[in-house]
Structure formats: C-alpha cells, structure tokens
Amino acid sequence: MDIWATYQRKLEDVQISPPLAAILALVDLCATSTAGTMFELVKALNEGSDSLKQHSPNPISINAGCELFIAFVTLFPHDSASFSDLKMELVKQGEIYVRQALTYRRKIGELAVDFIKDDSVILTHSYSRVVMETLLLAHRSKRISVFVTEARPRGLGVKTADALTAAGIPCTVILDSAVAYAMDKVDCVLVGSEAVVESGGLINAVGSLNIAIIAKAANKPFYALAESYKFHRLFPLSQYDLPSHNPRILSFPPPIERDTVLASSTSPIPSSGYEVFITQEEIAKNNPDVDYTRPDLISLVFSDIGSLTPGGVSAYLVGMFAG
Amino acid sequence: MATETPTSTPGSQPSQKSMTKAERRELQEKQRAAKLAQPADTLNKPKSKPKPPAAQKKYPPGPAEANISSADAFRSHTKDATSAPAMDSLAEASKSRSLRIFSHFGLPKHGPGVKGDIHPCIVRLALQFSEFKICGANARCIATLIAFKTVIQDYQTPPNNTLSRHLMTHLSPQITHLVSARPMSVTMGNAIRQLKLEISGSDIDMPEQDAKDLLCQKIDDYIRDRIIIADEVIQDLACTKIKDGDTILTYARSSVVEKVLLSAYKQGKRFSVIVVDSRPLLEVSWTLSDDSLLPPPPPIPCTYALLPALPSLITEATCVMLGAHSLHSNGAVFSRAGTALVAMMAKQHSVPVLVCCETYKSSEGVMLDGFSKNELAPSHLFRTTLPISPQGANLEILNPLYDLTPPSCITAVVTEVGLIPPSSISSIPTALGKINL
C-alpha cells in the first residue's frame, strides 16, 4: 500500500493535522499489514514512517506522530489470544486516540481563553487551527482584536484574517517586518506550533522566532498552543540543528562569471531604478519553512495536558519517553 | 581522567592476595610513615607558610583557635596598632580570616596512619587518591567498586553474625579511610549507597560464598550499566550533535567527552577541537603526551590553549562540550574549576553548551555556589606549576578543584536517557524509577 497517498488522503480533512494524519496512515498500515509477529509489525511501521518522512519536505511534525504511535504499539500490553486480534485492537485504539485528539483543540482553547483579558489586542502568526479555535472561543465572551502577520513565504496569514473577519473579529494583516512596529500595541502573542521539542522550545512557521524575540524585548507574554501529540523527542541546539535544515537553505548563489562582471562594469549604469530579476519563489527556495524558538522566549505552552512552562514540557517529555 | 586506568589496577601490581604478609606489612608501614610525615611538611605548609617559625609552634592552625586569635588580634589592634606584637597578630588575623572562609573546603585529613582493620587494597587506593594518581569522578568510582570487590571476597563473616548485617560495619572503616585520603565524590557516594542497599537486601539463608559472589556480580552490573553502557549511549547521542566542519570546544579533561570526540571521528565526521586547559591540574597535557589516546593519523585537528585565551577562541567554537563531577537537582553542574567560566562565556556568545554526564552522577541536593562545598588541590602536588614562590609573607595559595555552573548557562545535559534541559534533571529519577538511583 502507498502510505504517502494514504497520508495525503487523510490530510484532506481540514480538521486533521499532519501528526494525526501520520498516525492514521500508520493505523491503516497496521490494518492491512500481513505481519505475523510484533517484531515484523514494528519493522513495517518503522519503514512506513521512514517513507513518509522521505516524501515530506518538512518531516518534523510527521515524525512526532509516527514516534508516538510506534511507542504506543511497542508498549501496548499484548495479551490477546491471537496476533490478528492484537492488530485489530491496535487499529481500534489508534482510531479512538485520533477521535479524542480532535477534541484537544477545544480543551486548549478553554485553557488559553482565561489568559486573554477583555478588550485586548492579540498578535498571531500565520494560520493555526488551534489558535483559530481559541480566538473564536474568546470572541464569544470578550472583546478582542487581532493583528495577524502575513507569514511569507506561504502567506497563510491572509487565510486567518479572512476567517476572523468573517466571524466578526476586528483583524488586520501586518507585514512580517512590521512586528516590532506593532508590538507596543499588543497585549499578548498567541502562536500555534508544528512541534514542541524537548528543550521546551517550539518549532513553527518561520517568523515565530522574530516575534518571540521582539515580544521578549517588549516584555509581552508569548503563548504557544500545542496539542500533546505535537510534543517531540528532539533537542535542537540551534536553527541549523533542525531536521528540516538542508544545505540549500541560506546558500549563496554561485559566483557570477568574471566575463559578465567585466561586461556589466563597462556598460553604462542604468539611470532609473533597478530591475527586479528575482521572483518570490526563488527567494522562498533558499529560505527555511520553520524556525526554532528557544524556551527562554516562551511564557507558557497551552496543551491538552495543562498549561505548562517550557520546563514543564521537557519534564513531561522526559517522563513519557525516558522510562 | 585517570592516569592509571582503574581496570588495569589489579594487574599493574601483584594482587593483594598474592602479596606475602611481610610485603603487606611493609606497605602499611610505608603508608603510616608517609601519613605521619605529611602533616609536618605538606599539610601545615600552605596554612602556616607566612607564619614565622616560632609562631608556627605556638599556634597550630585550627578553626577554633583561628577564631580566638583573630578576635584577640582585633582587640589588640584597636589598643595599639604600632606595637610589634600587635602587628604580628594583625598578620595572624588576616591569615586566619582567609583560613576561616576556606577552612571548610576539604583538605585531606591526615589521620595518624591507618586506623583499624583496613584492607591493603583500600590503603593502596587511598594513596592513589591522595596523590591524584586516580582522579576523575568515573575513574574513582570504578576503582573504589573494584577495590570493594576484593574486600568483599576477602571478608569472613564472624561467628554469630550474618553477612547482610555485618558486612557494612566491616566496609564502613574502609570507606572512612578512603574519605580521609580525599573527600568522597558524589559518584562514589551514589555507588556506595547502592552497595549498602544490595548488602542489606542479600538473603540471610544464602551460603556466604554465594552471597559474596552475588554482591560482586551486582557491582560489576552497576559498573557496566551505569557507567560503561551509559557512556556508550552518551557517545551516540552526543555524536549526532557533531557535524562536519564543526569546531568543538572542550575544557580540562573528561573521559566521556574524550570518548565522544573519538567516536565521532571514527564515524567519519570531520571537525576540529579546541582544548582549553588551566592550572593547577593541567590535566590535558597528560592527554596530549599520551600517544596511545591520540587517534591514528590523520588526527583530529586540535588547538590547545590555556583559560586566559578563551575569549579569543570562543567565537570560533560551534559547540562547547564539558564533563561533570556531579549533577544537582536544580540543574547546576559541579565540575572542574573553570568550567563555569567557559559555560558563561559560551552563553554570552550564544554558543550551545552540552554537558556530558551519566545519570549516576546526579545528586539529590541543591547547590547554589561553589563555596559551600568544594575541595582544595593539595598544593604540595602541584607546586611545580606555580610561578611564585610560596615563601612570601601573607600569601596563601588557594586552588579549589571544582566550581558550580548555574543551569542558566547550560543548553542541554547529555545523559543516557537523552538530551535533557538542565531544568528537567530532577525528573530523571521519577522517569527511571526511584530504585535505580
């Protein structure tokens, strides 16, 4: 079976985020697998998760889901009469988990709403389902207005703005480069996340780090919202230590041929303006999709297991995986 | 860390069992003589160096007397500052003041030779400890456990006693003797606590030899699981953080960091290393001179520098890797003096700081600074490295062996349970199950 196609199909449901889609794809793999022993099953699952990771340009969030499901499978008490029964049980449990996981956003929203004061201005970044849920929930009881960053290169901030305006929340799209300008008007920053890592830090759409640093400098609280299935056993030491980093990112173009340099230097300098010769796509190609926000910049992480400090996140992860 | 690897200890000298009684007595005699000689020429010297010889006889240094004499000194100082005896006692006061601050730092307590029934291998180990022939948390812990195996094998339960009840009373004086040579390391403390637990839990009905064999087996398991295998896991984890073209900065000498660097090199990673070293131990120079430890050519490109050169080198580093003596539950790392400086400088330049440390080095206590608990390097061992003569008046040479790196300066601790931020160190025991620690 083509696990990547399955993953893509699961992802079509707007409510399903990449880690959950990865879990569902692995559940399907589990259901169709012909493995006769636990060892074979885990091997098949590992292969499936590897192929998912290879296909995806950004493997971090997929990896979080895969790791969670494989850890669950290996730790699941197998006292069933036959192995096929056990497999069916695993599939059932996997589906139950995903169904439960879909209620997590609501839970997180309820936790986070208490931290939003009436008549406050909120800054958010790009598009995140859990942030949307929280903002819509807050809108019911409080007056809020929202700044949302444009979030180049994907430009998903516009999507957030459309949805919020439709719901009647005053909302303005600001440039990624205007965050510092807007920060003094902001009461708190709410961002979603691709993954929360073991240091207590956050991996999210590129630009989150800028916002976190500016918020810290302006002494504004920076809240991250993350479902617990996004918690990931990974410890990036720097931006370049992320699995998504590759040599293409931030690479310099090959040097221009000497002849052309000489030719251009002899030709007269164009008098009016300068010509645009690089497209948005070309810029995006050499730029990262995600960045890593250090734990010391984050005030709180709201998750379905509670409101955690970054230290609490790492304690939870150590307790969950180190045992 | 160890100039003499502990595993080679039993082989390097005729084993204690094979020594004749006369030889053993000779060793003890020598040890006793050394102990008696030491207080006179080594222990008193750093404290009483500035004293005139007459004063030395009158006031043997001791915290209680130091207090009295300083109080006296101040009284007489207020009365008549110019008179000669007052000047004398003023010098006395300033000296005893510095002694009062640092007197709690563990200097080897040279008791009157060997007290009680001490096993010769413990006597030997204590000598190696006090002479810094075996130094470093891992080496000392392994050497201690191996020596205890010999002690346990040579032990005979006296009549009307059981092994589980009596063996510990036999081991206690041995431990006391080791501690009198050099203050106990946290690693030794943890290992001994585990050993006590095993002894008290051993079955009363088991034949004595079987019980002893079982204990030795447990000791071997402890060394294997908590130190050797843990080191291997740490190597694997830390290697993933080393990439081609990196420059790793390390300070002093840690057995784990050394292993990490060598194994990363063996995996085909090409990186360079900056080794920073410092007085008084100058541990790294031993490494560099030891050819067997250097990898086969082409070796890892290394830069060797002393601590004052750190500011100009830190900008070159992509990652700092440090070893540890012990790990405290607030995330602070107790390590070779100078480590805190390196970590703070790295933090200032936003270079990630990794501390490689096995979980058996963790201590439940909280430490806030390096003054509350520390150890002084015995100056008679490292005097050759001093650029000044210790004869000058009012001069005291202070060589603390350790310092405390606050958790805020550490990016991550590499343990065998994974890379962990220093703030979550306290959750390791719960994760491992309390019994193991």
Winning range, highest mean pLDDT, from B40-49, B260-269, B282-291 = B260-269
Is B26 a residue whose pLDDT tops 80?
A: no
- pLDDT for B40 equals 44
pLDDT tens digits, B348-398: 999 999 999 999 998 888 888 888 888 887 777 765 556 666 566 566 777
The reported pTM is 0.79
For position A323, what pLDDT does the model report?
A: 53
Instruction: Note the pLDDT of residue B367.
Output: 87
Peptide bond into A153 cis (omega under 30): yes
State whether residue B241 sits within 8 Å of chain A by CB: yes
Question: DSSP letter at B304?
Answer: E
Question: Which ipTM was obtained for this model?
Answer: 0.84
Give the contacts of A117 (CB within 8 A, at least 6 positions apart): A142, A187
Q: What are residue A123's phi and psi, to 5 degrees?
A: -105, 130
Q: Does A235 touch chain B (CB under 8 A)?
A: yes
pLDDT band at B220; cut points 50, 70, 90:
very high
State how far the alpha carbon of A90 is from the alpha carbons of A32, A94, A201, in Å.
12, 6, 31
- Which residues on B lie below 8 Å from A199 (Cβ)? 411-412, 421
- Predicted confidence band of residue A277 (pLDDT cuts 50, 70, 90): confident
> Which positions 180-219 of A are in contact with B (Cβ < 8 Å)?
198-200
> What are the pLDDT digits (tens) for A198-216?
999 999 999 999 999 999 9
pLDDT in the model for residue B428: 78
Cβ-nearest to B430 among A198, A311, A319:
A319
Q: Number of helices and strands (H, E) in chain A?
A: 13, 11
pLDDT at B33: 62
Contacts of A238 in chain B (CB under 8 A): 352
Query: What's the pLDDT at B384?
Result: 58
Model confidence at B12, pLDDT cuts 50, 70, 90, reads very low
Lookup: tokens for A265: 């230097």
Q: Do B419 and A235 touch (CB under 8 A)?
A: yes
**Which B-chain residues 313-332 have CB contacts (< 8 A) with chain A?**
319
Lowest-pLDDT choice from A269-273, B369-373, B424-428: A269-273
pLDDT band per the 50, 70, 90 thresholds, residue B68: very low
- Coil, strand or helix at B76: helix
Q: What integer pLDDT is reported at residue B116 of this predicted model?
A: 74
Residue for token pair 């069933």: A80
Model confidence at B101, pLDDT cuts 50, 70, 90, reads: low
pLDDT at A145 over 60: yes
Taking the CA of residue A231 and the nearest CA in chain B, the distance in Å comes to 14
H helices of B277-377, in order, are 283-289, 310-313, 339-348
Tell me how far apart the alpha carbons of residues A44 and B237 are, in angstroms, rounded to a whole number. 25
With contacts defined as CB-CB under 8 Å, which chain A residues touch B426?
Answer: 315
A chain contacts of residue B418, beta-carbon cutoff 8 Å: 198, 233, 235, 318, 321-322
Instruction: Name residues 348-387 of chain B within 8 A of A (Cβ).
Output: 352, 354
Can you give the pLDDT at residue B240? 93
The per-residue pLDDT for range B151-175, each reduced to its tens digit, is: 999 998 888 888 888 888 889 989 9
**Between residues B286 and A98, which one has the greater pLDDT?**
A98
Question: Closest Cα of chain B to A186: distance in Å?
Answer: 28
> Are A322 and B433 inside 8 Å of each other by CB?
no
Where are the domains positioned within chain A? Answer: 3-101, 105-236+287-321
> Number of C-alpha atoms within 13 angstroms, CB side, residue B260?
34
Give the SS3 label for residue B417.
Answer: coil
The shortest CB-CB distance from B421 to any of A238, A241, A295 is to A295
Instruction: Name the CATH topology of A105-236+287-321.
Output: Rossmann fold (3.40.50)
Verify whether the Cβ–Cβ distance A319 to B241 is below 8 Å: no
B428 contacts chain A (CB < 8 A): yes
In this model, does residue B296 exceed pLDDT 60? no
Alpha-carbon span B149 to B346, nearest angstrom? 42
pLDDT of residue A282: 83
Burial of B236 (0-12, 13-18, 19+ CB in 10 A): middle
Put simply, the answer to whether A319 touches B418 (Cβ < 8 Å) is no
Residue A300, SS3 per DSSP = strand
- Over residues A206-246, the pLDDT tens digits come to 999 999 999 999 999 999 999 999 998 889 999 999 988 88
Query: What does CATH list as the number for B232-436?
Result: 3.40.50.10470
Q: What integer is the mean pLDDT of B280-295?
A: 62
d(CA B254, CA B257): 5
Region A3-101: CATH code: 1.20.120
